[in-house]
Amino acid sequence: MQPWPALLEFDKNHVWHPYSAIPPKSPPIAIVKTQGSILTTADNQQLVDGMSSWWATLHGYNHPAILKAMHAQLDTMPHIMFGGLTHQPAIELSQRLVELTPEPLNQVFLVDSGSVAMEVAIKMAMQYWKALNQPNKHKLMTVRNGYHGDTFATMAICDPVNGMHGLFEQQLSQHIFAPAPTQGFELDDNQHTDIQAVEALLKEHHSSIAAFTIEPIVQGAGGMRFYRPDYLKQLRQLCDQYNVLLIIDEIATGFGRTGKLFASEWAGISGDIMTLGKTLTGGHISLAATLTTQKISQAISNPLTPSIPNILAHGPTFMANPLACQAAIANIDLLLSTHWQADIQRIEKQLAEQLKPLADLDLVKEVRVLGAIGVVELTRDDLGQPIQDECVANNIWIRPFGKLVYTMPAYNIPDTQLKQLTTGIVKAVESISNPIDN
């Protein structure tokens, strides 16, 4: 292998990293090994990972059960096209997803990333209404502060003001945005002013709306905002009332992160379409899924107008990749065999105990904790990099964005590493806060 200085010099000048320039303002940290919740750098520093690789590594890195399943599949059939062919891992994974997700979701479309899963969900919704000879229902509705991906269809339903895609405004389809849900997971269920705004927009525009898209309970990259389950329950009722499909984006919240297997379970509802990703393989390889109902699949497969195609015209080359499907099966089976709810409660307790006192700092606007998610919202948006640098100096890895310093550790992170993580975040925020206060 080339020496690291030479590799990093090439990286700086030629490799584009997420949401960065070339060369980047701050060089990335070279990682040479992962194990559990530990990242080992090229300088042999060990960092406790507080990001789970953007929500994904539920069981930490290199889990032996998942690696064993992947090795066995790699030796047999790492990939095969899914067009006209099928294989056991795809079938068994689909069986598990149908069994675990809320009824009546029982049709599975396997793709290779969360953004593509949402693209497919949008296609399903649009084609459903065309198949029913209602092409006027061609718009989407969503809420502000949402995030659904970086592809063009998904960019159009991310927050149009505070999102990351304003540069492409003129190229994006124009959809309908309701105010964001009032922040607060434990708000009184009678606080309905936010849902009233949704109802007013649905009443006015429902004849042109194909589907309403929403992240259940937790708005992720659009602000790490938590909202009450009753809002989601009322939204389901309104979508039924106004004949609008409901797309539930569980890409970030699926498989336990909030304390329920799926965040929509807090409201006891099901979407007409659900997307999964990130956590599907436990962060070991890319895979995502879009689930829908037989009602929708049958409408698409049997359109009322003969000129409408009776197929869902989407087929990624690596759709239902056997290696990824086998990793997902192992990941799901592992999760269900553990006391994951107790781990989520353990993490939630530690995050609340150590992070919530930061709310007393002038620099801190609010501290929020739900399940295995801890968020420190600052009053300024220019401190992410110095806080990240302080965290690395404290041997932990987090990646703030904007005003948000947040963590989502692996469910099985040991208590000692969890304490190191929360203590390091507290020290980093305090160290940045003290010079500002002085």
Contacts of residue 84, Cβ cutoff 8 Å, sequence gap at least 6: none
Q: Can you tell me the distance from the alpha carbon of 159 to that of 144, in angstroms, rounded to the nearest whole number? A: 5
Residue 103's closest CA among 331, 265, 279? Answer: 265
Considering 147, 227, 231, 406, which one is annotated as catalytic? 147
**C-beta separation of 257 from 373 below 8 A:** yes
Q: Can you tell me the distance from the alpha carbon of 399 to that of 223, in angstroms, rounded to the nearest whole number? A: 14
Please report, in angstroms and rounded to a whole number, the separation of the first and last CA atoms in the chain. 48
Considering 230, 249, 272, 343, which one is annotated as catalytic? 249
Phi/psi for 246 (5° steps) reads -115, 120
**Number of C-beta neighbours around residue 99 at 10 A:** 9
Residue 249's closest CA among 118, 370, 372? Answer: 118
Residue 338's closest CA among 410, 258, 252, 268? Answer: 410
Residue 49's beta-bridge partner residues? 397
Task: Identify whether 242 is a catalytic site residue.
Answer: no
Task: Identify whether 411 is a catalytic site residue.
Answer: no
Contacts of residue 123, Cβ cutoff 8 Å, sequence gap at least 6: 312, 313, 314
Name the packing angle between helices 114-131 and 294-301 (round to 10°).
60
Considering 130, 137, 260, 278, which one is annotated as catalytic? 278
Tokens of 161: 């003001």
Task: Identify whether 249 is a catalytic site residue.
Answer: yes
Q: Can you tell me the distance from the alpha carbon of 174 to that of 165, in angstroms, rounded to the nearest whole number? A: 13
Residues annotated as part of the active site? 19, 147, 249, 278
